[in-house]
Amino acid sequence: MSKRKNFFNKSKKRPTNDDDDQLRESRIKIDDSNVDTMDVDYSSSYSLVSLSPSPSPSPSPSCHSPSYSTYIACHDDNGVSNELKKMSLNNMELGINACKSTLDITDKLLTVVGGASSVAKNFSAFAPLISSFLDIGSEIIKLYKKAKQHKELCGFLLRRCNFAMAAVKDLDIRQTENVEFFSKQENLTLFIGFIECMREIENFIAEVSQLKTLQKYLYSNSIEEKFTDLATEFDGYMNSLNFSFTIQSRDELLTVKNEIKQIKEILLSYGVADDRQSQQNFFDVTNLVTEKNIEFQEQSRKKITFDSSELEENEPLLDGNQYQRTYECPSKRIEKRTSYTSSDDFCFKEFSNNSSASFTRQEETQIEIRRQVNILKLLKNSEHIIRFYGVAHDDNKYYLITVWMRHGNLHEYYTRFKDNINLKTKIKFALDICRGVAYLHECEILHHDIQSANILVNENHKVKIANFGLSRKFSDITRNILQNLENIRYMAPEKLLVTNNGDTKKKKIPYDSKCEIYSVGALLWEIAELKKPHSDLDKSEPIINIRERVKEKYCLPFSNNVPHEWEHVVSKAMEYDPKWRINISDICREFYKMSEKYSGASTNIPEDEVLTYLGNEKKPIKNSKNSSITITILSVDDAINEHKKGNKQLAWRSFSYHSETDIEAKYWLGYYYYHHEEIPELQRISKEERIRIAISIFKETADKGNPSAQLRYGMCLWEGKGVDMNSLEALKYLKLAASQGNSAAMYIIGKVYWNGGDGIEKDEKQGAEYLKRAALSNHPKAKEMCIKNGIS
């Protein structure tokens, strides 16, 4: 915060005569007895007392009028009152010395001439400032409308700004009635400072209203402090300029505290682990994808020529001959192929051939797809989005390569396994899909065609979002997005019910995130009911009938066994008016709560497949009876408890099930590969192969911030088990684990530094520090070593 804040927070009195001091005391100080007898409205609202300064003469801005503005704090014991009192103007001295401005204002602008004959000249100094002030206010309004996070916090600041704008507009309109105000040099100086305060509010709202830009506040826990400082400074300027207003809010800071808590809940509901490293990785990737996406869109819009040599280096065209055909073809354009080198399965989707396009057109198309794939490959960190691998050329045809999804799309899946899908499985599907949509939205990517046909299911019964790109051209090439019966089932009213302009041209409605939320709502209804939206309509004219239903604001009905929370989310997502639709972050939070609520239920898995892991690939083992059986899948925490009790098979099965979406489960999967060869599925794999797989999993989960994995992988590096020995790299991972409170890692690092050797320079001081930390964490060997070596 700039120095301007200090003169509103500190009780510095500007030299004045006794009368001025007495008048100031009468305006600012309100003792507790007076407050207790005031008739107070504790609603969260403002009331505008006066929009212009009093015309009576006054030597200081604080003495324009005998009226004053009060910030009324509630007298409770929850700690919020004390914070509100910091913001209270009762505790401010509104007298000032001077305000240093960062605006580029010339000396001529700062020279204000007194007297009625100089009104025009005086106002001319204020005119550009008034314009600048109102422009900033307009930007704040736009930011508020776009806010996805901290909506109420931003609303508190917006309310202040709206009253300030009303006061400034009144000054501008009634110039001749405010001659005295415009004649004062100190008012000009204050106004310049007020503009800077407004700019800080604009920047603050821009940062905290979007998830990807608020991490600096999240980690420093400074949102509440920054809000309080800005509110205090703003209220000080309002009173000093005598833009009288009353703030009557009982719970602003309580709301701010609650919204800060909700941000962490949102990250958890997105599937981001509750540790700083995982959260930072999430922010880093989404910011990187957003940056590259914006750059791509800008280049496309301006038709900027890109460096083709850079594309060849970063996204080379793959050779389709390096993949073996399996002749498993779900459709005419899609086939399964297996890599000759890794034996992994991939999906090849043809998007161009000589029979349908010229050679030049084909080249342009494959380059366009490769440019986008190069960015889309960065989404690999999300477990809920299809993974892109590149573009291949084979037999004069081009193919988009993605991960192979064994069970096809979601509609095909629930049609086949309908009797085995219970509520818990439905919630998991819904949450995973919403997490994928949320991830795309954080990267400023809209899918444009959310429906069950574009949700794919892998061999481990996990759903992933597919069939999207960064442009309409990508969509047109790789999938059919033309308006048809299937996507109309999910289409938002504003897109479906377009109006004619003069009976000749349809009014174009841009597709935005609110349109997408409606489609998500329709898909959530489908998952709850296991049937497509509007599937009950007469099949003779379904498109016309769907339009009529939507036009009449028809609500899709739910069965009696659907939880009330689910119905509520769908109704909010499918609101007819887009401005009332729920945000994707709120949808994720609601389904995350449902997943916690119903986590105790057993999960039905269609067991014509019992899953095991062979190499880096999950292969199904056919059930000889080819029938469905019920397998109990525990939560990750419960699976860890079962592991400790000795029920290794149940724990292993549960870790396997959760491993694609939970870092802790993935780590434990690696642990089992490393230690537990008694698991029947693991007995089919050689020890060397199990160790190799375990090390790969340890490194993956360590890099994602799991402290146990960091310790485990660090020890493998130190001892050279399954990986080349590397003491320095080992120390790096051990320090990462220690930084997250892992006492075993602290002890090992302390011992290494204390003794030295193996490429690590002896450092008893640093060794003692780590050993003490480990001992304080009750590590027995660390305590023993500290006692033995006199470390205290």
The Cα 714–Cα 720 span in angstroms is 10
Give the whole-number percent of the chain exceeding pLDDT 90.
35
- The contacts of residue 643 (CB under 8 Å, 6+ apart) are 651, 668
Nearest to 487 by CA among 479, 136, 661, 415: 479
CB 702 within 8 A of CB 663: no
pLDDT at 302: 83
Beta strand segments in 471-608, E: 500-501, 505-506
How far, in whole angstroms, is CA 141 from its chain's centroid? 22
Q: Report the amino acid identity of residue 217.
A: Y
pLDDT at 588: 94
Phi, psi of 417 (to 5 degrees): -110, 25
Higher pLDDT, 320 or 216: 320
Nearest to 776 by CA among 737, 735, 743: 743
Q: What is the CA radius of gyration of the chain?
A: 32
Highest averaged pLDDT of the listed ranges 95-109, 250-264, 367-381, 488-502 = 367-381
Task: Evaluate if residue 197 carries a pLDDT over 80.
Answer: yes
> What is the average per-residue pLDDT within 48-64?
36
Lowest mean pLDDT across 28-37, 142-151, 385-394? 28-37
- The contacts of residue 493 (CB under 8 Å, 6+ apart) are 518, 550, 551, 576
Task: Evaluate if residue 415 carries a pLDDT over 90.
Answer: yes
pLDDT at 400: 94
Beta strand segments in 386-541, E: 388-394, 397-403, 455-457, 463-465, 500-501, 505-506
Segments of the chain assigned to CATH 3.30.200.20: 310-403
Task: Encode pLDDT of 63-103 as tens digits.
Answer: 333 333 333 333 344 444 444 444 433 333 333 333 333 33
Could you tell me the end-to-end alpha-carbon distance of the chain, in angstroms, rounded to an integer? Answer: 42
Task: Evaluate if residue 173 carries a pLDDT over 50.
Answer: yes
Task: Evaluate if residue 17 carries a pLDDT over 70.
Answer: no
Write the secondary structure of 746-785 as one string of H (helix), E (strand) and C (coil): HHHHHHHHHHCECCECCCHHHHHHHHHHHHHCCCHHHHHH
Task: Evaluate if residue 241 carries a pLDDT over 70.
Answer: yes
CB 240 within 8 A of CB 62: yes
Arithmetic mean of pLDDT over the chain: 77
CA atoms 384, 389, 391, 394: torsion sign = negative
Q: Is 718 left (phi over 0), alpha (psi -120 to 50) or beta?
A: alpha
CB 68 within 8 A of CB 28: yes
The Cα 717–Cα 485 span in angstroms is 57
pLDDT band at residue 584 under the 50/70/90 scheme: very high
Write the secondary structure of 620-661 as one string of H (helix), E (strand) and C (coil): EEECCCCCCCCCCCCCHHHHHHHHHHCCHHHHHHHHHHHCCC
Determine which helix (DSSP H) or strand (DSSP E) holds 496, and give its type and residue range. Answer: helix 493-496
Q: Helix crossing, 151-173 with 185-208: angle to 10°? A: 150
Higher pLDDT, 618 or 421: 421
pLDDT at 643: 87
Give the whole-number percent of the chain exceeding pLDDT 70.
75
pLDDT at 158: 92
Lowest mean pLDDT across 87-96, 105-114, 427-436? 87-96
> What is the average per-residue pLDDT within 558-579?
94
How far, in whole angstroms, is CA 227 from its chain's centroid? 21
**Neighbour tally for 172: CB within 10 Å:** 16
Q: Please identify, in words, the CATH class of the domain defined by 310-403.
A: alpha beta
The Cα 636–Cα 122 span in angstroms is 70
> What is the average per-residue pLDDT within 611-639?
53
CB 553 within 8 A of CB 489: no
Buried b (16+ CB within 10 A) or exposed e, 696-718: bbbbbbbebbbbbbbbbbbbbbb
* Pairing, β 323-328 against β 388-394: unpaired
Vertex 547 angle, CA 543 and 553, to 5°: 145
pLDDT at 129: 93
Higher pLDDT, 3 or 129: 129
> What is the average per-residue pLDDT within 20-30?
33
CB 397 within 8 A of CB 353: yes
Task: Evaluate if residue 308 carries a pLDDT over 80.
Answer: no
DSSP 323: E
Lowest mean pLDDT across 76-85, 388-397, 432-441, 704-713? 76-85
Lowest mean pLDDT across 56-60, 575-579, 723-727, 739-743? 56-60
What tokens were used for 483? 């308006």
CB 219 within 8 A of CB 276: yes
CB 397 within 8 A of CB 311: no
> What is the average per-residue pLDDT within 690-694?
89
- How far is residue 7 from each of residues 1, 11, 92, 387, measured CA to CA in Å? 12, 8, 9, 55
Vertex 315 angle, CA 309 and 320, to 5°: 120
The Cα 587–Cα 266 span in angstroms is 10
What tokens were used for 46? 């403002």
| pTM of the shown model | 0.58
Burial grade of 25 (CB within 10 A; 0-12, 13-18, 19 or more): exposed
Segments of the chain assigned to CATH 1.10.510.10: 410-597
The residue to which tokens 């009330």 are assigned? 564
pLDDT band at residue 358 under the 50/70/90 scheme: low
Highest averaged pLDDT of the listed ranges 75-79, 117-121, 319-323, 788-792 = 319-323
* Pairing, β 388-394 against β 318-319: parallel
State whether CATH 1.10.510.10 applies to domain 410-597. yes
CATH superfamily, domain at 635-788: Tetratricopeptide repeat domain (1.25.40.10)
> What SS3 state is found at 40?
coil
> What is the average per-residue pLDDT within 337-353?
86
Segments of the chain assigned to CATH 1.25.40.10: 635-788
Q: Is 314 left (phi over 0), alpha (psi -120 to 50) or beta?
A: alpha
The Cα 287–Cα 295 span in angstroms is 12
**Neighbour tally for 536: CB within 10 Å:** 10
> What is the average per-residue pLDDT within 557-580?
94
The Cα 454–Cα 447 span in angstroms is 10
What tokens were used for 386? 């299809």
CB 98 within 8 A of CB 16: no
- How far is residue 287 from each of residues 161, 465, 493, 760, measured CA to CA in Å? 30, 20, 31, 37
Task: Evaluate if residue 9 carries a pLDDT over 50.
Answer: no
Longest dimension (CA), the chain: 101
Higher pLDDT, 450 or 213: 450
pLDDT band at residue 107 under the 50/70/90 scheme: very low
CB 42 within 8 A of CB 248: yes
- How far is residue 107 from each of residues 104, 632, 744, measured CA to CA in Å? 10, 78, 65
Task: Evaluate if residue 728 carries a pLDDT over 60.
Answer: yes
> What is the average per-residue pLDDT within 767-786?
90
Task: Evaluate if residue 43 carries a pLDDT over 60.
Answer: no
The Cα 217–Cα 224 span in angstroms is 9
> What SS3 state is found at 457?
strand
Determine which helix (DSSP H) or strand (DSSP E) holds 188, and give its type and residue range. Answer: helix 185-208
Nearest to 474 by CA among 351, 389, 388, 331: 351
pLDDT at 251: 62
> What is the average per-residue pLDDT within 416-440?
93
